[in-house]
Every structure is written in C-alpha cells, then in structure tokens.
Structure 1
C-alpha cells in the first residue's frame, strides 16, 4: 500500500529538516507548507496578519490538492506543516479514498528551548518575511501557541518524537519505527 508521512508538531522542532532527511531516505517527494507559503507570498504578497494567514490556508489547500493529484501515481509522499485537526481530517479522508497508509510524526520539545531556537532563526537565519508577521517573538505568545498546538487532536497512527534537540533525526530507534511503517 502507498505511504503518506505527515510531519507536524511544535514550532521550531526541526520538522522541515527532518522531512528532507526522510525524503532522501525513502526517495519520496516532500511538500512543506512553509515553502509553498513563501512562493505564494512572493507572488501574491500580503499587507497584514489576516492576509498572511490566508497565505497559510492557501498553502495547506495546495498541499491537499497536490496529494489528491499525486495519489494515482502510487507514489509515497511526505507532507510537513503545523497541521490543525481539520486539515488532518481532510488529509486522512483523501488518504482513505486513495488507499494510502498514514503515519503522523508529532515532534514535541521543551517549549523554552524551542522558543530560543525560534528566536535564533528569526535573527540569524534570514527567515522569509511570510514567517515574521506573528507575535511569537514575545515569549508569552510563543508559550500560548505551543500550548494550543499540543491540545490539537492528532488522528490515526502516530509516532511522538522528542525534539528538544536534533538527536531524533538520526536516532536508530525512531528511524527503524518509520522504516517498518514504510515497508509494511
């Protein structure tokens, strides 16, 4: 059966990097919400947080559309984003219709460490402007969003990954668990 890996979880947990690692490991296409949003932002632009949020929603819709169009090729696929419950429901419905097995990797880490990592990305990694319209640089706001994200219901088969540091990206136990899913 075809495989769909969904990678979600905390902000600044390393989801994009891990999705690229897994893409190379399994020769699977990967689509990342942030990349789609950056492309949309460059072409469409945005003036305020509301318009920026619309870009995020459009990026998710594009990813769902891509999945629905790629699925007839029987290709394994990796989708990465801070998925919300309704988005996961939509993806699971498409997966069911298209006969995909789904494993959701949920990356979780110490919120204080992730906040510091987030701040470093903003100041030292030349983040794209579409990722800078939030107020998450205020620690209290970051913590509230982290708490909200952790209350979201994650559907189906999941693997929760400790992502306070990046050791999980080469952890043989975690990779073996994902290997087992990809081979079944």
Structure 2
C-alpha cells in the first residue's frame, strides 16, 4: 500500500483521544464456542461483532450454490466481505470483535489486513479437544441448531419436495475440512490469549475477560466511551 494511503488511514483511524481503535479477533475450530464467547466479551467491552458465518448465511440465502466448488466460493466471498467490512469500521476509528475459523492459508491475508488498518489488535484463540468439538458440531446439525446450508455439500436451497438429507458430518470429514486446514492452530503476529474450552463450564469468564483486557490494553466498557 502506498505510504500516503497508509498515512491517511492512520489519521482517520485515530479517535478524538489520539488512540487507535481496538480489534479483537476470535479464532478456533468450529463448535469451539467462538460466537458465544464473542457476544459475551463484546458486551463487556462495548464492541460490535462481525462474524464470517453471518455473512456466509446471507450469501447462502441470496445466492445459493449448485455444487461444492460454488459453496467454497461463497466461503471465500464471506471472508473477503468480513475483512472489507472490518477494515471500514476500523478506518472510521471504531473498535470491533471479528470472529472466524481462520485457515492456515489466510495468515498472509490477515497480516496484510492488519498492516493496512492501524489498530490495537489481539487474538483470542479457543483451543481444546477436537473430538469434543466434533461431537458438538455433529449434534448441532443433528438437531438443526444452525443454518442447514452449512451442512449441505452440493446444493442449496433444496429442491421442491426434496427430502432432508443426512447432514451429520463424520469425524474423518471434520478432520479433513477443518483440522487439516490449520484451523486448530492459526496464529498471526499480534498479542494473543489461548484458552482451553473443551469444557465451557470450566472456563472462568471473569479471568478470561481480565486476560483479554490486559492483552488489548483496554478496560471494561472502554469502547462505549
């Protein structure tokens, strides 16, 4: 990016108190609890939440897909829109929480994003037992607890009169499409906090909030001010 453009973004991003906006990235495998944690932390720190899956579901409903490659392209598009929208928020001097199951091949793109949009960035990575996450993931699909298009492999919407297929992902498929793509250990060069969420009830949320606050250099409710 040309130096002048970087300078302009840096000037726009700074708030009235001279500080940069805050970006909290939350990453981890599917079913690790990213959305739940994001909503709680965003409420504490007064940040809006941008989540890739929300964008992807909007694309499912407005564009749809006729095969798996088209479905993958919607994922690529959702990631691109997520970064574009997050960049606009940061450039306006506003803080936010960005949620995604980042893949290893996205590391360079995220680094470029952070370089292009001045902010105080930190990553909260949710880790734990992948077998437990798979069981949660499969149960969500079994009971229809999320948008059905996430589980459909080759077309959406369903055709008129088409029966609902079995959409429960096998353990092997979970490993292939999520773990083997580096979602279990995604990292970028910024301050980070890693927390084991195998048992969500064992997570001390107050202690986690304090760790995130220290990582980002902000206080509770600071982004409301």
Deviation at 1:115, TM superposition (A): 1.3
TM-score between both structures, scaled by the size of structure 1: 0.88
Tell me, yes or no, if the aligned pair for 1:30 and 1:77 is still in contact at 8 Å: yes
Q: Comparing both structures, which one devotes a greater share of its residues to strand?
A: 1
CA distance in 2: counterparts of 1:38 and 1:30, whole angstroms: 15
Aligned counterpart in structure 2 of residue 141 of structure 1, from 173, 176, 179: 173
- Matching of residue 172 in structure 1 with residue 206 in structure 2: yes
* Change in CA separation of 1:128 and 1:36 when aligned onto 2, cut-off 3 Å: same
- Structure 2 residue runs of 5 or longer lacking an equivalent are 1-19, 154-166, 219-225
TM-score between both structures, scaled by the size of structure 2: 0.73
> Structure 1 stretches (4+) deviating beyond 6 angstroms?
none
TM alignment of 1:5-154, pairs within 5 A: 5-134=24-153, 137-144=169-176, 145-149=178-182, 153-154=186-187
User: Aligned pairs, how many?
Assistant: 184
Cα displacement string for residues 88-129 of structure 1 (whole angstroms, at most 9, x for unaligned residues): 432332323332121111111111211111111101243212
Q: Comparing both structures, which one devotes a greater share of its residues to helix?
A: 1
CA distance in 1: counterparts of 2:215 and 2:195, whole angstroms: 15
CA distance in 2: counterparts of 1:152 and 1:108, whole angstroms: 8
